[in-house]
């Protein structure tokens, strides 16, 4: 992030960057706690995650409000404009990650019992660990403007997809073996899909980091993504 002759402009850019990282930390915590609530059938914890979604929404509002004000007042160009627009885009992805956590927490209220067997617990936890590691690496890449790390996140997205596919098949097997498992496994399928989508949003953010730093769109398995 370049220094500017107008100190207030630098302060605005620092505020925006800090707000992105604050949103990232909050979204990461929401997801981790939502999955913990799911696996332990902790309804109180699930309720707290659902309530915290409003906090994340508020952070996104603060981010967008300052970003729009800076664009209007400073009329930024080139890398500064990419930084601001990119931050707004990342804020949207992080808000969606929070929504994924909230969705998982809501499923917890429906299941109301600890998840069994151990293989399912391990699969869900492994999928979550991979997705949250992707998110953490992405936020580190943003904080340090590290293009190599961001590109690595983009390449690693396939690993999450593979774990999700394996878990999807495992859940279908349990449903076919015993119809009494259908309701719980259906909820878990939605939870697993939400976790897989968290990995997709982390990849989106990593692609945005690459564009912010280089001015070039990162290659994506979903096609070229630009701002």
Domain at 93, CATH number: 1.20.58.220
Instruction: Please tell me whether residue 113 adopts helix, strand or coil conformation.
Output: coil
The pLDDT assigned to 1 comes to 53
- Between 77 and 37, name the one with better pLDDT: 37
Q: Quick check: is 172 in a domain?
A: yes
Cα separation, 55 vs 38, whole angstroms: 21
Q: How many domains does the chain have?
A: 1
Give the tens place of pLDDT for each residue, 103-149.
999 999 888 777 777 778 889 999 999 999 999 999 999 999 999 99
| 4 — pLDDT class (breaks 50, 70, 90) | low
Cα 184 to Cα 100, 110, 120, 187, 190, distances in angstroms: 18, 9, 12, 5, 10
Give the tens place of pLDDT for each residue, 81-101.
999 999 999 999 999 999 999
Q: Quick check: is 1 in a domain?
A: no
Q: Quick check: is 227 in a domain?
A: no
Give the tens place of pLDDT for each residue, 151-191.
999 998 899 999 999 999 999 998 999 888 898 899 999 99
| 224 — pLDDT class (breaks 50, 70, 90) | very low
Range of the domain at 169: 7-214
The yes-or-no verdict on residue 227 having pLDDT over 50 is no
């Amino acid at each position: 992030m370049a220094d500017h002759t107008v100190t207030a402009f630098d302060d605005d850019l620092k505020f925006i960057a800090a707000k992105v990282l604050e949103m990232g930390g909050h979204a990461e915590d929401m997801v981790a706690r939502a999955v913990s609530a799911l696996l332990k059938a902790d309804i109180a914890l699930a309720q707290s995650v659902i309530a915290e979604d409003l906090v994340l929404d508020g952070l996104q509002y603060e981010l967008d409000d300052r970003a729009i004000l800076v664009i209007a007042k400073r009329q930024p160009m080139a890398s500064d404009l990419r930084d601001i627009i990119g931050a707004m885009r990342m804020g949207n992805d992080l808000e969606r990650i929070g929504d994924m956590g909230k969705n998982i927490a809501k499923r917890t209220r429906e299941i109301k019992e600890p998840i069994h067997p151990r293989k399912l617990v391990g699969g869900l936890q492994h999928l979550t660990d991979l997705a949250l590691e992707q998110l953490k690496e992405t936020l580190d890449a943003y904080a340090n403007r590290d293009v190599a790390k961001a590109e690595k996140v983009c390449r690693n997205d396939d690993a999450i997809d593979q774990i999700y596919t394996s878990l999807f098949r495992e859940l279908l097997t349990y449903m076919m073996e015993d119809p009494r498992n259908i309701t719980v496994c259906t909820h878990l399928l939605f939870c697993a899909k939400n976790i897989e989508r968290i990995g997709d949003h982390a990849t989106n953010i990593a692609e945005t980091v690459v564009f912010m730093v280089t001015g070039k769109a990162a290659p994506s398995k979903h096609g070229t993504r630009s701002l």
